[in-house]
Amino acid sequence: MDTATEKDINQITYKISRLNISDSIAWLATEFPGKVTFSSSFSAEDQVIAHAILSNNLPISIFTLDTGRLFGETYSVWSTTNEKYNTRIKAYYPNALVLEHFINEKGPNSFYESIENRKQCCYIRKVEPLKRALAGNSIWITGLRAEHSPERKNLQRIEWDEGNKIIKYHPLLLWTAQDVRNYINEHDVPYNALHDRGFVSIGCAPCTRAIRPGEDFRAGRWWWEEAGKKECGLHEHAKN
């Protein structure tokens, strides 16, 4: 699918509106065989979706973006997930030559120096590998929730991503953090241990910290930048 029409979006939205998470993903897999993929960062939300896919043996490909600077705990939950569900989640990595040039030119921690450097780092480590991962697919499933940031409050569960020419589905969009936690506890889903230590949104280790009481969800990401600029480029199309 090169471009989705408003009619396409509305038809899919109508169909999944009456289905639970597992059934909606299963329906998409049937309607778009071999063309549905799920991107996981091993966040609590993503683990919920992975469980729905893997425990039901749904024919959905799952991938992750290994930036090379993830927390050890993230690799641990990745490994545990593979073992629990007898799967092998595919990893996409930055272009080695491009990353090598960037680091040699600007240094390993240049993202602290300017937003331009940080966004360039995010592009190399995340955005470009994402484009490779999404190529050839029609549906991209994500773990975005409306509570994550003001920019995501007006998202629709089904939307067209013009930048990547793909339909995005956010099955947990209206879930609360407690909904996610309840599902994980009820289904014994493996999750990142950092969540128990105040880390809410977990990305690269140098760019993520635990949040303090009263801080919003995204406060722990790129904390040295202004709040309105805290996006890495993976979901910029969704801004309103």
Task: Give pLDDT, residue 147.
Answer: 82
CATH number for the domain spanning 157: value is: 3.40.50.620
For the entire predicted model, the pTM comes to 0.91
Residue 108: inside a domain, yes or no?
A: no
- Both tokens assigned to 56: 């039901």
Residue 225: inside a domain, yes or no?
A: yes
Q: Which residues contact 214 (CB under 8 A, 6 or more apart)?
A: none
Q: By residue range, what is the domain housing residue 204?
A: 6-93+128-238
User: Per-residue confidence of the chain (240 residues) as pLDDT tens digits?
Assistant: 566 777 789 999 999 989 999 999 999 999 999 999 999 999 999 999 999 999 999 999 999 999 999 999 999 999 999 999 999 999 999 999 999 999 999 999 999 999 999 999 999 999 999 999 999 999 999 999 988 766 667 788 999 999 999 999 999 999 999 999 999 999 999 999 999 999 998 999 999 999 988 888 778 888 888 766 556 666 664 443
Residue 169: inside a domain, yes or no?
A: yes
Task: Give pLDDT, residue 151.
Answer: 66
String of DSSP letters for the chain: -----HHHHHHHHHHHTTS-HHHHHHHHHHHSTT-EEEE----HHHHHHHHHHHTTT-S-EEEEE--S-B-HHHHHHHHHHHHHHT---EEE---HHHHHHHHHHH-TTGGGT-HHHHHHHHIIIIIHHHHHHHTT-SEEE----GGG-GGGTT--SEEEETTTTEEEE-TTTT--HHHHHHHHHHHT----GGGGGT--S--BGGGB-PPPTT--GGGGBSTTS-GGG---SSSGGG--
Task: Give pLDDT, residue 237.
Answer: 46
Angle between helices 44-54 and 177-187 (to 10 degrees): 40
CB 49 within 8 Å of CB 29: no
Residue 111: inside a domain, yes or no?
A: no
Q: Which of 121, 204, 207, 232 is catalytic?
A: 232
Residue 48: inside a domain, yes or no?
A: yes
Number of structural domains in the chain: 1
Residue 98: inside a domain, yes or no?
A: no
Q: Is 207 a catalytic residue?
A: no
Residue 208: inside a domain, yes or no?
A: yes
Task: Give pLDDT, residue 101.
Answer: 98
Residue 122: inside a domain, yes or no?
A: no
